[in-house]
């Protein structure tokens, strides 16, 4: 090699102008996806991911040695080595700043840090004390047929619509589904909001006690779906739309059209390789306009449940 090349280190590859160290580090060994693959995906998916995470504290699941590696940590707060590309946000009652992702560059910084999952709060943007969406987290019991989870999602959809809300569906990249509904909850606190989500799930479980439970304990599930409303609280998170998972296959939490919510739905087909296509099809078009006021929904539920 020429002398000039010897004396200077090769430049680190960049994505969105953010340098990546160890870009060829394999993060998902079973499917061979690297840190560079993750950064490329996040950059391409940024227009779909960012509207749902901007302005909210966002925890990271970091697996710098890959998803099967020794290190796996859930990072909420900014630390000494935190990239300046993240926003740092302070919330009431906590001295330590939370991480927040507001730009494509911050998404790449997350990839650079080995973040294989993104977990935002469900508050309104830049208003941590105000609920901004509800996430109903449907958790099937071990070995349950996925078609039953799809049925539960549709049951929930009907109930949310009956109280005047406009829900959307996504895979989790894992075992269940998330039903997400944007709300205008100005003037309503998290306690009231969470109680609404619990009451709605309790209504559903009361109608089909053989199918659903609100009991968190795995042992109590007995072939039922746990209606996990606990995501709907201050500081609680749910995996972001478009986020990959630190799970085999590099599955992604992908948006699903309600018309695709059939027994044929296979959540495992949404991966780092295929999720971009699903995002670009934009099954969540109209999400912002689907924001509905919470107050009338609370009133409607009190009459129905």
What contacts 153, CB < 8 A, 6 or more positions away? 138, 169, 177, 179, 261
**87 forms part of the interface with ligand ATP (CB under 6 A):** no
- Could you say which residues in the range 43-102 bind Mn ion, by CB under 5 A? none
By beta-carbon proximity to ligand ATP, the closer residue of 238 and 241 is 238
Footprint of ligand ATP on residues 107-126 (CB under 6 A)?
119
Q: How far is the CB of 18 from Mn ion (least distance, A)?
A: 31
Q: What is the dihedral of CA 231, 234, 235, 236, to 10 degrees?
A: 0
Interacting residue with ligand ATP among 74, 129, 206, 208 (CB under 6 A): 74
In the chain, the N- to C-terminal Cα span, in Å, equals: 76
Alpha helices for the chain (secondary structure H): 3-7, 35-53, 104-112, 146-162, 190-207, 275-280, 294-304
d(CA 48, CA 56): 15
Minimum separation from the CB atom of position 251 to Mn ion (A)? 13
Smaller CB distance to ligand ATP: residue 23 or 128? 128
Question: Which of the stretches 55-63, 127-135, 202-210, 227-235 binds Mn ion when contact is defined by CB under 5 A?
Answer: 227-235
CA-based nearest residue to 176, from 207, 208, 210, 221: 221
Residue 194 contacts ligand ATP per CB under 6 A: no
Does residue number 117 form part of the binding site for Mn ion (CB under 5 A)?
A: no
How many whole angstroms from its chain centre is CA 197?
Answer: 18
Query: Is 124 or 201 the residue whose CB approaches Mn ion more closely?
Result: 201
Contact residue for Mn ion among 37, 102, 139, 151 (CB under 5 A): 139
Q: Cα 3 vs. chain centroid, distance in angstroms?
A: 49
Does 13 interact with ligand ATP (rule: CB under 6 A)?
A: no
Distance of CA 58 to the CA centre of its chain: 10
Residues 48-67 that bind ligand ATP (CB under 6 A): none
**Residues in touch with ligand ATP (CB under 6 A):** 74, 119, 137, 139, 172, 174-176, 228, 231, 237-239
């Amino acid at each position: 090699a020429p002398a000039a090349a010897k004396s200077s280190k090769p430049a680190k590859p960049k994505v969105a102008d953010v340098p990546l160290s160890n870009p060829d580090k394999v993060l998902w060994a079973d499917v061979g996806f690297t840190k560079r693959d993750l950064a490329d995906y996040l950059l391409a998916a940024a227009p779909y991911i960012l509207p749902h995470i901007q302005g909210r504290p966002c925890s990271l699941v970091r697996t710098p040695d890959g998803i099967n590696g020794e290190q796996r940590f859930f990072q909420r707060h900014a630390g000494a080595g935190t990239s300046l590309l993240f926003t740092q946000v302070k919330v009431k009652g906590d001295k330590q700043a939370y991480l927040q992702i507001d730009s494509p560059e911050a998404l790449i910084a997350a990839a650079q840090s080995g973040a294989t999952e993104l977990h935002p709060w469900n508050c309104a943007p830049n208003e941590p004390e105000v609920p901004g969406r509800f996430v109903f987290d449907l958790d099937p019991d071990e070995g349950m047929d996925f078609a039953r989870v799809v049925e539960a999602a549709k049951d929930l959809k009907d109930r949310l619509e009956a109280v005047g809300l406009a829900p959307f569906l996504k895979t989790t990249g894992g075992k269940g589904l998330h039903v997400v509904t944007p709300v205008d909850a100005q003037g309503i606190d998290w306690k009231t909001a969470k109680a609404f989500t619990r009451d709605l799930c309790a209504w559903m479980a009361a109608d089909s006690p053989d199918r659903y439970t609100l009991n968190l304990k795995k042992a109590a599930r007995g072939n039922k779906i746990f209606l996990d409303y606990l995501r709907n609280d201050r500081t609680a998170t749910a995996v972001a739309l478009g986020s990959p998972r630190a799970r085999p296959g590099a599955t992604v939490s992908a948006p699903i059209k309600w018309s695709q919510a059939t027994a044929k739905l296979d959540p495992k087909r949404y991966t780092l390789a295929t999720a971009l296509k699903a995002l670009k099809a934009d099954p969540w078009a109209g999400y912002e306009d689907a924001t509905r006021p919470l107050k009338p929904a609370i009133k409607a539920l009190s009459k129905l449940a």
